[in-house]
Amino acid sequence: MPNASPLSVADIAAALGALAPRFDVDVLAECDSTNARLLERAEAGAPAGTVIVAERQTAGRGRLGRVWFSAPGDSLTFSLLWRFPHGTSLGGLSLAVGVVLVETVAALGLRDVAVKWPNDVLRDGRKLAGVLIELVPGAHTAAVIGIGLNLRLPATLPEDLIRQTAAIDNHLPRSELLARLLAALHAVLTAFASGGFDALRQRWLARCAHLEQAVRVVSQFAMPVEGRCIGVDADGALLVETPAGIQRILSGDVSLRLP
């Protein structure tokens, strides 16, 4: 059965090769949320590179207080703790993680994959993966990076979600996929630590779903903004050109503006 291969710490370490000592991976059969569990361990002093991957989450967390649904075996749900040098600005970190995801799935041969600001990965315009970054309280340069990647569309998905959701549908064993993602995260987070998001900005723009398109950005805290998406700045803020000038947007949901 595609993608239902069991997650195994030994297989993940073997696939990581020389990078294996940089990670401490824990595979859980079930937990509420890998982000919640890892935040707890981070506060207790867990080192950078600690990873929790769960076969099943009972209370997966999404952006903006949303719930993240995933069925066992149909997705890869994991969190990685990363500790950045003191003083590192974490602006744009979720976009940097988007670069890892989109480039990794593109390398598997998936076509029409793109990043959607701020931190979704799309396949054929439907959501393939999401990222939720939570800062470790009291340690402002430590972040728990939570990733949910759809491997297969579950049969039981609600009707509205089926239309909006995509999956990898690839036979790569999940342990191998996780190892590839961790290796790519290691490289990108190292680049981020020294150069910030600016070091990755062109790679993000090369995969941007909405660049030069008419968009509408809706946010909980401000009036909707409509205009032309002209990119992102060095901190990962979305830049939208409107009749009133260029708007710099820090939070919201982007959609294509239909004529």
Tell me the catalytic residues.
63, 127, 257
How many residues bind ligand BTN, per CB under 6 A?
Answer: 20
132 binds ligand BTN (CB under 6 A): yes
Q: How far is the CB of 29 from ligand BTN (least distance, A)?
A: 15
Q: How far is the CB of 143 from ligand BTN (least distance, A)?
A: 12
Identify the helix (H) or strand (E) that includes residue 143.
strand 142-150
What is the sign of the dihedral through the CA atoms of 40, 44, 48 and 49? negative
Is the separation of the CB atoms in 74 and 165 below 8 Å? no
Q: How far is the CB of 34 from ligand BTN (least distance, A)?
A: 4
Residue 145 vs 227, nearer CB to ligand BTN = 145
Please tell me the distance from the alpha carbon of residue 217 to that of residue 240, in angstroms, as a whole number: 9
252 binds ligand BTN (CB under 6 A): no
3 binds ligand BTN (CB under 6 A): no
146 binds ligand BTN (CB under 6 A): yes
35 binds ligand BTN (CB under 6 A): yes
| DSSP state letters, 14-82 | HHHGGGGGG-EEEEEEEES-HHHHHHHHHHTTPPTTEEEEEEEESS-B-GGG-B----TTTEEEEEEEE
Residues between 55 and 84 that touch ligand BTN (CB under 6 A)? 57, 60-63, 66, 68, 77-79
Is the separation of the CB atoms in 174 and 76 below 8 Å? yes
Three-state SS string over 82-105 comes to EECCCCCCCCCHHHHHHHHHHHHH
98 binds ligand BTN (CB under 6 A): no
| Residue 116, helix vs strand vs coil | strand
Q: How far is the CB of 33 from ligand BTN (least distance, A)?
A: 3
Is the separation of the CB atoms in 212 and 228 below 8 Å? yes
User: Looking at 11-19, 143-151, 186-194, 225-233, which segment touches ligand BTN (CB under 6 A)?
Assistant: 143-151
236 binds ligand BTN (CB under 6 A): no
Residues between 167 and 226 that touch ligand BTN (CB under 6 A)? none
Amino acid at 43: E
User: Any idea what DSSP says for residue 118?
Assistant: T
Q: How far is the CB of 194 from ligand BTN (least distance, A)?
A: 26
Residue number with the shortest CB distance to ligand BTN? 130
Instruction: Give me the residues that bind ligand BTN (CB under 6 A), please.
Output: 33-35, 57, 60-63, 66, 68, 77-79, 120, 130-132, 146-148
